[in-house]
Amino acid sequence: MESKSISKVISVLLCNLIIALISVLFALDSQAQNYKQCNVDGVNFRCAKNISYGIEGQAHNLQKYDLYLPNNVPAGVKVPLVIYIHGGGYYSPDQTRESGLTGNLPARKYLDAGMAWATIDYRLSGEYPYRKSNSMPYPVAMADGARAIQKLRHTANYHGIDKNRIAVGGSSAGGGIAAWTVMHDDLKKSNSSDPIEKQSSKLRCLALVRAQMTLNIPEVIDLLDHPDMQEPDEGLSYFYGLELGQWARAPKYWNKVLAASYLEASPMTHLDDSDDFEVIMTYDKRFGYGSGNIHGAEFGKYLKSGEPANVAKDYNRTQTLDKLGIKNELHPALSNKQITNKIFNFVKACVNK
């Protein structure tokens, strides 16, 4: 009788194991169906599009990303991931995640090199202008960038991605979002009931194209120091919910109202000696020092070494990349082709360390 009972228990266990295995295989097959074949510059790659990273039941239509996976990856090998964040002044709906496919971090180049590639959308300032408060501690674009990173990390194993080898980059506003996520304190919440929030939002590899490292309006004007720069760029105005020209009519008032918002929104505010990352900063030769252009290389120089020193002193910028010993490259006058190649070489080396 005892032998029969043991046999019965073993049979039940085997039955349950088979059912569990079938369920797992079915789930994997079902998930595999989420991949499509996407043509990227003449070659087909597996891709998953319009993946939501927002909070379930509250997600905005723009809180989505597309993920592309390289071909011919050996079984069991996890690949690095490159995340691209588009520009557009934080407000432009004309710039979307599709714009990055052939930009300065072009998908095909990274996919051919055996890296996964993702591009994200984020909520815009026209709908969500930023004023720091308890209900809005971070600018939505920056918060979205961080959460997208967390979601990509959360699903990394399924997609065959090494979550410890991820680079993030972007152009202009996208570069600002990327820099904020890397320089800001980690948004990870270990005790959260949301598994995505349990992932780190910090990355070690940062690639910037024509990016602004401060979003403090008077600081930007002083930094660019050009006679035509009497008011902020339209993207900066809209970011804080101002009409173009509104700041210039009452700068003292708006600087007081927006003081806390300026600090939180500016990536370089969050630099400290706990940071552990590498960064490449590239700027277009069309907008050299002294041009007064919002994409000028002054931002990179300011972040790197705190120059000009008088501006850094006025705005209490005591932390720089060089002072903190953060490995960095600054290229202030490149062509688009040079930017693309410099960034690719940097990213490839960084994610493979």
In this predicted structure, the answer to whether residue 21 has a pLDDT above a threshold of 50 is: no
Distance of CA 170 to the CA centre of its chain: 7
Determine the pLDDT at residue 259. Answer: 98
Q: What is the distance between the alpha carbons of residues 59 and 255, in angstroms, rounded to a whole number? A: 32
Q: Exposed (0-12), middle (13-18) or buried (19+): which is 234, by Cβ within 10 Å?
A: middle
In this predicted structure, the answer to whether residue 329 has a pLDDT above a threshold of 60 is: yes
Determine the pLDDT at residue 34. Answer: 80
134 and 86 within one domain: yes
C-alpha neighbours within 13 Å on the C-beta side of residue 22? 6
**Mean pLDDT, residues 148-162:** 97
Q: Give, as one character, the DSSP assignment of residue 267.
A: G
Residue 107, φ and ψ in degrees, nearest 5: -55, -50
C-beta separation of 177 from 147 below 8 A: no
Determine the pLDDT at residue 9. Answer: 44
78 and 47 within one domain: yes
233 and 164 within one domain: yes
C-beta separation of 188 from 198 below 8 A: yes
166 and 147 within one domain: yes
- Six-digit token pair at 61? 């239509």
Q: What is the distance between the alpha carbons of residues 196 and 8, in angstroms, rounded to a whole number? A: 42
CA-to-CA separations, 63 to 79, 92, 97, 338, in angstroms, rounded: 24, 15, 11, 31
C-beta separation of 84 from 121 below 8 A: no
116 and 59 within one domain: yes
What is the domain range of residue 337?
A: 41-351
Q: What is the distance between the alpha carbons of residues 15 and 20, in angstroms, rounded to a whole number? A: 9
In this predicted structure, the answer to whether residue 11 has a pLDDT above a threshold of 80 is: no
C-alpha neighbours within 13 Å on the C-beta side of residue 253? 6
155 and 17 within one domain: no
Determine the pLDDT at residue 199. Answer: 98
- Six-digit token pair at 340? 């693309």
In this predicted structure, the answer to whether residue 33 has a pLDDT above a threshold of 80 is: no
Under the banding of pLDDT at 50, 70 and 90, the label for residue 5 is low
C-beta separation of 322 from 309 below 8 A: no
Determine the pLDDT at residue 99. Answer: 84
Q: What is the distance between the alpha carbons of residues 75 and 78, in angstroms, rounded to a whole number? A: 9
In this predicted structure, the answer to whether residue 302 has a pLDDT above a threshold of 70 is: yes
Q: What is the distance between the alpha carbons of residues 248 and 218, in angstroms, rounded to a whole number? A: 10
131 and 264 within one domain: yes
- Six-digit token pair at 198? 């349990």
**Mean pLDDT, residues 52-72:** 96
197 and 81 within one domain: yes
Determine the pLDDT at residue 338. Answer: 98
157 and 21 within one domain: no
Residue closest to 170 by CA, chosen among 236, 54, 89, 235: 89
| Overall domain count for the chain | 2
326 and 210 within one domain: yes
Q: Exposed e or buried b for every residue in 179-208, given b needs 16+ CB within 10 A?
A: bbbbbbeebeeeeeeeebbebbbbbbbbbb
pTM passes above 0.85: yes
65 and 10 within one domain: no
Q: What is the distance between the alpha carbons of residues 273 and 281, in angstroms, rounded to a whole number? A: 20
Report the mean per-residue pLDDT for the chain. 91
Given the structure tokens 């032998």, which residue do they identify?
Answer: 3
- Six-digit token pair at 149? 């990173």
pLDDT in tens, 164-212: 999 999 999 999 999 999 999 999 999 999 999 999 999 999 999 999 9
Q: What is the distance between the alpha carbons of residues 147 and 155, in angstroms, rounded to a whole number? A: 12
Any residues with CB less than 8 A from the CB of 34 and at least 6 apart, and which?
48
- Concatenate the DSSP letters of all residues of 54-83 into one string: SPTTT--TT-EEEEEE-SSPPTTPPEEEEE
The dihedral through the CA atoms of 83, 300, 319, 325 has a sign that is positive
187 and 59 within one domain: yes
* CATH number of the domain within which 324 lies: 3.40.50.1820
Any residues with CB less than 8 A from the CB of 274 and at least 6 apart, and which?
none
In this predicted structure, the answer to whether residue 218 has a pLDDT above a threshold of 50 is: yes
DSSP H or E run through 181? helix 173-183
